[in-house]
Structure 1
């Protein structure tokens, strides 16, 4: 039976900027960004995981709101580009609690290099994983958007744009 990894993410927008976690790329000198996110631990709910991951990766306390996105990576449909674990990520619209200031945690992941507010106007110019920048912008601007995104759809769009 195939195992599925559940992930929770926090979409935090303030003053037309999005809070992102910066990581060093393994294959080159560049960086990529993720929303504060990670796997759900045994005995933990998705909301509890989003709160924990925001604290662990961005040193912030958050209030968790409604689901904004569901993202699914199915390895066989994507030629195993991100490994062999089927994963489903739930992204919640979140707000920082009063007085909570994002910063690099005391013990970050070895590949983590920063925590940054990226203006929404610049979101398309950074490497975001998963590659849902357009979906986030549509969501923030009140436009129709995909609230369920499959990785193979992203890869098909990229192939069509190349």
Structure 2
């Protein structure tokens, strides 16, 4: 069996104790996730995080740091994901931006509001990334090295 981990990015965007979340339709139900997605060919991790956040929320963001690098195997399909999670600040909203297919919209939620909706999380990585962010896990963007 060939093992092919998926490289993904996610962005934690916080404003006044609220976090930018994505409501999406996945596997027959509506779920919450950070703005997140797969790294595209010939794309940097930072560019992927900026692109995915815009495509899923309509927000331009400026990455400010790296929160962590997470390895997660989805129990639903056995696929392993390596997630690089960034912190970012919201820069500009484009309310008329055409969001990706399956995206129902963006929501700003507090941690408590997220906890109350635990059954709707796409994965446990949501709260882990937010809690690491709140605990002060902020590493320099210089941690991400460009390809040679």
Normalising by structure 1, what TM-score? 0.71
Pick closer, same or farther for the CA change 1:136–1:88 going to 2, 3 Å.
closer
Aligned residue pair count: 134
1:148-159 to 2 correspondences below 5 Å: none
Match of residue 101, structure 1, among 93, 98, 103: 93
Two-structure CA RMSD over aligned residues (Å): 2.4
Unaligned runs of 5+ in 1: 145-162
What's the counterpart of residue 59 of structure 1?
A: 58
List runs of 5+ in structure 2 lacking aligned partners. Answer: 138-148
Instruction: Tell me the distance in 1 between the aligned counterparts of 2:129 and 2:6.
Output: 23
Aligned to 1:24: 25
Asked if the contact 1:103/1:114 (under 8 Å) is kept, the reply is: no
Structure 1 residues 49-128: aligned runs within 5 Å:
49-74=48-73, 81-97=75-91, 100-101=92-93, 103=95, 105-109=97-101, 111-126=102-117, 127-128=120-121
2:7 alignment counterpart? 6
1:70-118 CA distances to partner (integer Å, 9 max, x unpaired)?
A: 22123xxx6xx33243220111011112xx1264741431x22111111
